[in-house]
Amino acid sequence: MKTPTSHDAQANPNAPLVTSRDEGRVRILTLNRPEARNALNAAIRLDLIANLHEAEHDAGIGAIVITGEGTAFAAGADLKELLARTSDQQRDFLQPPHIYSVIEGLAKPVVAAVNGHALGAGLELATACDVRICANEAKLGQPEISLGLIPGGGGTQRLVRLVGSGQAARLVFSGEAITAEEAYRIGLVESLAPRADVVAKAIELAAAMARQDAHSLAAAKRALRAARELAYPEGLRAEIKEFLALHARDEAKARIRAFLEKR
């Protein structure tokens, strides 16, 4: 089936807000609001969550790539919706399960193919993913301070963990958008590529992940999450628990024997 283009999405109001396609064991999910630079309104968030759950429960899928249609990854939250909500409605909107906690809670790895600008909620979406491959042309930032706000989808928390408190403060306090090269230098993204190649590079990485044992991937994600959320001694205990559970499986023993025999 033909994947909708930017022109199709603008011309067809019934076009899906998130398109889905597979390459081998990789599910590619594309935000499809190019006329709004893929701004994250409530509908696209719900559609993305549904697609993520579907990929999570598909045994034929081992890893997921998220990207954007057109020239933006996601240029922020939908400001019209934000303005229309009461404070109580916004409080309810930010409660889990929201898109960021869903991505972080998946057992399968998620790679962000940041094909263009990732700003505000768009950067929060990218930082909720496990790895970020970024287009050279992209700019990234948390501009909420210029609207009299701060990031509300976990942006401050993930930024500190990714780039340290000083760089996080610089981005949040100034609201500035930085270049992809600068984002790579400070550790906000893991790799750079030309825009034309960024999705292919993300798929290549995701495919390498998808070839691994699913139980081991899920355990690795839990251990890495423990490193972010727990004190160091507790994180070590969580890692040992995951390791021992995998060590008890026949799969690990078979892979170790195969490795020794090949050597």
| Same domain, yes or no: 138 and 246 | no
| Same domain, yes or no: 250 and 125 | no
CATH number at residue 137: 3.90.226.10
Q: Is residue 99 in a domain? A: yes
Helix and strand counts by DSSP (H, E) for the chain: 13, 10
Q: Is residue 18 in a domain? A: yes
Q: Catalytic residue among 23, 144, 182, 242, which?
A: 144
**Among residues 61, 27, 31, which one has the least CA distance to residue 45?**
31
| Same domain, yes or no: 124 and 240 | no
56 part of the active site: no
Q: Catalytic residue among 23, 35, 54, 124, which?
A: 124
Domain count, the chain: 2
| Same domain, yes or no: 173 and 237 | no
pLDDT tens series, the chain, 263 aa = 334 444 444 446 788 999 999 999 999 999 999 999 999 999 999 999 999 999 999 999 999 999 999 999 999 999 999 999 999 999 998 888 899 999 999 999 999 999 999 999 999 999 999 999 999 999 999 999 999 999 999 999 999 999 999 999 999 999 999 999 999 999 999 999 999 999 999 999 999 999 999 999 999 999 999 999 999 999 999 999 999 999 999 999 999 999 999 87
- Give pTM, 2 decimals: 0.92
104 part of the active site: no
| Same domain, yes or no: 57 and 156 | yes
* Strands (E) located in 86-219: 110-114, 117-119, 131-135, 139-141, 177-179, 191-193
Q: Is residue 1 in a domain? A: no
The CA distance from 235 to 229, in Å, is 8
Q: What is the pLDDT of residue 96?
A: 83
| Same domain, yes or no: 176 and 225 | no
SS3 for 142?
coil
Q: Which range marks the domain in which residue 180 is found?
A: 6-210
Q: Is residue 168 in a domain? A: yes
| Same domain, yes or no: 96 and 220 | no
Q: Is residue 108 in a domain? A: yes
| Same domain, yes or no: 148 and 223 | no
Q: Is residue 59 in a domain? A: yes
| Same domain, yes or no: 253 and 146 | no
Q: What is the pLDDT of residue 4?
A: 41
Q: Is residue 33 in a domain? A: yes
The CA distance from 50 to 47, in Å, is 5
| Same domain, yes or no: 170 and 203 | yes
Q: What is the pLDDT of residue 2?
A: 35
| Same domain, yes or no: 173 and 52 | yes
| Same domain, yes or no: 112 and 176 | yes
CA–chain centroid gap for 17, Å, is 17
Query: Which of 166, 185, 210 is the last residue in one of the domains?
Result: 210
